[in-house]
Amino acid sequence: MTVTASVPATPAGPAGPHGPTGPHGPARTAGVVAARRGAGAVAVVLVLLVAVLALVDITQGTAAVGASDVWRALTGRASSGDTSVVIASRLPRMAAGLLVGIALGAAGAALQAVSRNVLASPDTLAVNAGSYLALGITAVTGISLPLLASSGVAFVGGLAAAAVVLGLSGLGAGTVRLVLAGSALTLGLSAVTEGLLLLFPRQTEGLYQWNQGGIAQSGFGGVLQMAPVAAAGLAGVLLVARRIDALALGEDAARGLGVRIRSTRVTVVVCAALLSTAAVTLAGPIGFVGLCAPALVRPLARRFRGLTHTRTAMPVAGLTGAALVLGSDVLLRALVPADVAVAVPTGVVTSLAGAVFLVVMATRVRQSRATEAPDRLRIRGRAVFVTTTVVLVAVLVAVAVAAVLLGDTKLLLGDVLNWAEGRAGRTVSFVLDTRLPRVLAALLAGGALALSGTLVQAVTRNPLAEPGILGVSGGAAFGAVLLVTTVPLAGSWGLAGAAFAGAAVSSLLVFGLAARDGFRQDRLVLVGFGVATGASALIGLLIILTDPFNATKALTWLSGSTYGRTLPDVIPLALVLAAALVFAVVRRRELDLISLDEDTPRLLGLDPARGRLAFLGVAVLLSATAVAAAGTIGFVGLVAPHAARALVGRRHVRVVPVAVLLGSVLVCGADLAGRTVIAPAQLGAGLMTAVIGTPYFLYLLLRSRR
């Protein structure tokens, strides 16, 4: 039998048979009443705000239906056309916004309360990514499910993803571990889903647009089916609200009050997954509402103590979430022409606002000790380095040769020799003219990303830093997509320049805001995650607005595909990689010193700030040119440097060449597997490296937790 404990808002005084008898009993009672009145006043204000936003939202749209027309439609005195617009479209859209906002706000509040982590939300726990993958797998099978059954599939996927993230990060652990585990799992699950979208475009048609998140509805059917699911999740959390309040006192105190900690946490996570499922099934992933709504309520709780209780805070967070969703929809339709606003999902607006909110929060977060254990690496001898290098060179040659010979058309070494001498047939020449640039692009992109990750990890002294996770690759991808969608005939150098401009802006934001206090991991990871999310939302917006019926083309490039690459596309990357290698080798000792601490370089007469800026600039240039040549490829900048240090030690004169070789092998092998394993269909190298890199990254987190 579970004993449910009630946690009082204020310490209780001596009690008699008729109530408090202590000297401050009446004062305390008055304080409790005032706190409840304050919380009630906040709720009333939010209800009025949501009501106003809902009324404004009903009047917005492509049809010329004003407030008076809406009133006549609601009272049954309007024409049939106005009535159909209001009843079939406007009101369902508004109702969906209310339901989605309340569900996500309440889910975020519940997850943050039970995990004692201010960044816990359906986004950071990969709930949306898990639901996205589950629905993608269902779509591929060709099974047509009703909406309620689809919500069950999404619930299973989201709950499984949340369980993995919470298991790796630990309840009550630091914010960094939660964000790292959630973002890594999101990248991996999203990569698998994007692969399904590319392989089965007909079966998954419309799933990419759905993933951007939009509250537009056709009738009340979806809202009516998802409302009971959201109500069940909300009721479940409210039933264990007092246990959640007890957990805030600490695990020992909660056990003393008879609270079963594990069962309480499992119950809350399941109920939060139900709330998220209702929102995701109805409108797709509406980003960051579950993170921002509780964060906006938190300052109010410091003033109105009634909001410190879960039973009060959750409904208020839900109302705040509804205000965020409806406010985003109203703002979008007020600033953008009606015909364009129809195509822009509400989730894009909330994701952009949430990304800014997360970056601001990162600048104010309290710094904690590093969450990862330092690498305990043995000192490797010269013989180990030479042996490792020789083996990697042999593997690289074997992979490169296999990549040239294998594909849709299998070739022999003799065909390659004849092609080199100009004596090959037309078919062989065509195959090699298109295949060889792909192989070179994969090799060079892998080496560039590995070297970029090596420099970033050394400068930030963070073994879990990586250009993709820190938003640098996302900024480069946004710059490249922006140029491709606006100037389709742009050349290789223009694409590289646009990618570098995007990477430069994102890196200035990330490293500039994280430079204070010496690139502490909390700030660096949180700012990077926010920038990466904002870049992803902008990329989705560009694809939807400029080419809504050809998302497969953009997904192919964003998946890290080398398809269609030519030798001119590879030249900028080759030049940048060669120059960066020379730079890293020449300044290898300075790189070793900067990776140690802040004081040692100064004692030896070096300027660590200037050196750090130079190394970061080279890393950004490498990442940008790699993205321009081969699309977005994640985790290479994490896996290759980490594996290189494990093989040959910390000295960068050894780490740099080994990491570059490992990166080239990884990307070239991924590209080879992507175009041969399921031939004639193809998958981008970025998807393959994400599938490989995600488990490795999560393993690093698990090992650091131990």
For residues 190 and 684, the answer to whether their CB atoms sit within 8 Å is no
Distance CA 671, CA 563 (A): 10
Identity of the amino acid at 306:
G
pLDDT per residue as tens digits for the range 190-215: 888 877 877 787 777 677 667 777 88
pLDDT per residue as tens digits for the range 608-638: 777 778 888 898 889 888 888 888 887 888 8
Higher pLDDT, 173 or 537: 537
Higher pLDDT, 517 or 145: 145
Distances (CA, A) of 186 to 165, 486, 684: 10, 29, 18
- Checking if the pLDDT of 28 tops 80, the result is no
- Checking if the pLDDT of 261 tops 70, the result is yes
Tell me the two tokens of residue 571.
Answer: 């030249």
pLDDT of residue 190: 82
Identity of the amino acid at 216:
A
552 class by beta-carbon count within 10 Å (0-12 exposed, 13-18 middle, 19+ buried):
middle
Any idea what the Cα angle at residue 623 is, between residues 619 and 624, rounded to 5°?
115
- Confidence grade of residue 350 (pLDDT, cut at 50, 70, 90): confident
Tell me the two tokens of residue 61.
Answer: 């749209």
Q: What is the mean pLDDT of the chain?
A: 79
Determine the average pLDDT of the residues in 399-407. Answer: 89
- Checking if the pLDDT of 396 tops 70, the result is yes
pLDDT of residue 21: 43
Q: In percent, how much of the chain has pLDDT > 70?
A: 81
- Checking if the pLDDT of 184 tops 90, the result is no
Long-range contacts of 233-236 (CB under 8 A, 24+ apart): 233/103, 233/106, 233/107, 233/271, 233/272, 233/273, 233/274, 233/275, 233/277, 233/278, 234/102, 234/103, 234/106, 234/271, 234/275, 234/314, 234/318, 236/267, 236/270, 236/271, 236/274
pTM of the model: 0.76
Higher pLDDT, 689 or 455: 455
Cis amide leading into 680 (omega within 30): yes
- Checking if the pLDDT of 148 tops 60, the result is yes
Determine the average pLDDT of the residues in 377-390. Answer: 80
Determine the average pLDDT of the residues in 376-383. Answer: 66
pLDDT of residue 15: 40
- Checking if the pLDDT of 495 tops 70, the result is yes
pLDDT of residue 64: 60
pLDDT of residue 104: 92
Determine the average pLDDT of the residues in 591-603. Answer: 77
Sketch out the chain's domains with CATH numbers. 36-364 (1.10.3470.10), 391-705 (1.10.3470.10)
pLDDT per residue as tens digits for the range 646-680: 888 888 889 999 999 999 999 999 888 888 877 66
Q: Around Cβ 696, how many Cβ atoms within 10 Å?
A: 14
Distance CA 320, CA 104 (A): 10
Determine the average pLDDT of the residues in 68-89. Answer: 60
Q: Is the backbone of residue 173 left (phi > 0), alpha (psi -120 to 50) or beta?
A: beta
End-to-end CA separation in angstroms for the chain:
34
- Checking if the pLDDT of 264 tops 50, the result is yes
pLDDT of residue 372: 41
- Confidence grade of residue 19 (pLDDT, cut at 50, 70, 90): very low
Among 279, 355, 656, 643, residue whose Cα is nearest residue 527: 355
pLDDT of residue 501: 86
Determine the average pLDDT of the residues in 330-344. Answer: 77
Measured in whole angstroms, how far is the alpha carbon of residue 533 from the centre of its chain?
A: 6
- Checking if the pLDDT of 435 tops 80, the result is yes
Distance CA 390, CA 376 (A): 25
Tell me the two tokens of residue 222.
Answer: 């979806």
The most confident of 74-83, 273-282, 572-581, by mean pLDDT? 572-581
For residues 268 and 247, the answer to whether their CB atoms sit within 8 Å is no
* Sign of the C-alpha dihedral computed for residues 60, 64, 66 and 69 taken in this order: negative
Determine the average pLDDT of the residues in 263-281. Answer: 87
Among 351, 356, 346, 297, residue whose Cα is nearest residue 325: 346
Identify the bridge partners of residue 19 per DSSP, sorted by sequence position: 16
Any idea what the Cα angle at residue 350 is, between residues 346 and 356, rounded to 5°?
150
pLDDT of residue 308: 80
Tell me the two tokens of residue 293.
Answer: 């709504």
The contacts of residue 191 (CB under 8 Å, 6+ apart) are: 559, 634, 686, 687, 690, 691, 694
In what helix (H) or strand (E) does residue 16 lie, and over which residues does it extend? Answer: strand 15-16
- Checking if the pLDDT of 418 tops 80, the result is yes
Distance CA 362, CA 118 (A): 11
Distance CA 407, CA 436 (A): 11
pLDDT of residue 342: 73
- CA diameter of the chain: 105
- Checking if the pLDDT of 378 tops 60, the result is no
- Say what the alpha-carbon torsion angle 406, 409, 413, 418 is, to the nearest 10 degrees: -140
